[in-house]
Amino acid sequence: MNKKPVVLVTRKLPIAVEKKLAEHFETLLNPDDKLYTTDELLQLAENVDAILPCHTEKFSAQTIAQLPFRVKAIANFSVGVDHVDLEAAKLRQIIVTNTPDVLSDATAEIAMLLILGAARRASEGERLVRSQQWKDWSPAFMVGKQITGKRLGILGMGRVGQVVARRARGFDMTIHYHNRKPLQSSDTEGAVYHAAVEDLLAEIDVLSIHCPASDETRGLLNRQRIAALHANAIVVNTSRGAVVDDDALVEALKSGAIAAAGLDVYNGEPDAIHPGYRQLDNVFLLPHIGSATEETRDAMGYRAIDNLIAIFKGEEPGDRVA
């Protein structure tokens, strides 16, 4: 009888996912959900055929070069793959996959939560209630921004961006978007395309960022582009922190150049995020929970498993990125 391929799972996964994985593979699990160092990761990978990591594990070119030749695949439990050097993986002939589609709804929900939370000053209000500082009501108390009928700009009209657009239409928002190229009209439902990011920013009240982190998008929302937004604008990010210039965004929030921000992702997360965000009342902060629903996390795991099954059957995985 053929032995099952051995898969290293770098973080604790949902019970149902780990159970299904064990049906097809020999598994090396992480029951304590420890964040491995690179040296620990390389040591654990010595006798495995594939790795199932999350975005918390960094596979630089140097790390990939040190992986044993037995490792045939990196099946990510994530959509974003900016934590993996794809060119280095290709050189080593290591197949890399991700888990698209299944987290679009969950991430879109968080984007809407961030929009509403930032617009209606939810962080400030919650702190007032918890600290017993809420003393009375007045017409001037906790006045925020209304989003109904406003203009939403979507930076990156991919799977998540399109779901956010549909959810936002429930608030009668007008949708504008920027992509590398315009979508088919059947996919945009009347959304207005802007070929230049600056043109998009000049026409909107809320910006929701949904583009992946790459060399082209790193620091995309910089000081110059933030200046194109008007003073009542709100910035929301559920994609990757690298897309935003933190110094520029903090400066704009402090000065009143823009009204508020809602963030679920950060540069240097979790320990080294920009300290300015924590000090500002006009920022609604979440701890990278865009995909954190039971349904979505299970679906992500099943997708990663399907990719691994295909790879070890000698078939092309459905979600190959390298």
Write out the catalytic residue numbers.
240, 269, 288
- Cα–Cα distance between 292 and 303 in angstroms, integer? 16
283 — phi, psi (to 5°)?
-125, 125
Q: Which residue has the tokens 């140097």?
A: 62
Rg (CA), the chain: 21
3-state secondary structure of 284: strand
∠ CA 99-103-107 to the nearest 5 degrees? Answer: 135
Upstream peptide bond of 287 is cis (omega within 30 degrees of 0): no
The count of residues in the chain is 322
What type of residue is 55? H
- Per-residue DSSP letter, 12: P
First to last CA, the chain: 31
What type of residue is 321? V
Question: By the 8 A CB rule, do 238 and 265 touch?
Answer: yes
Which residues does residue 59 pair with via DSSP β-bridges, in sequence order? 84
Residues 6+ apart with CB under 8 A from 270: 287, 288
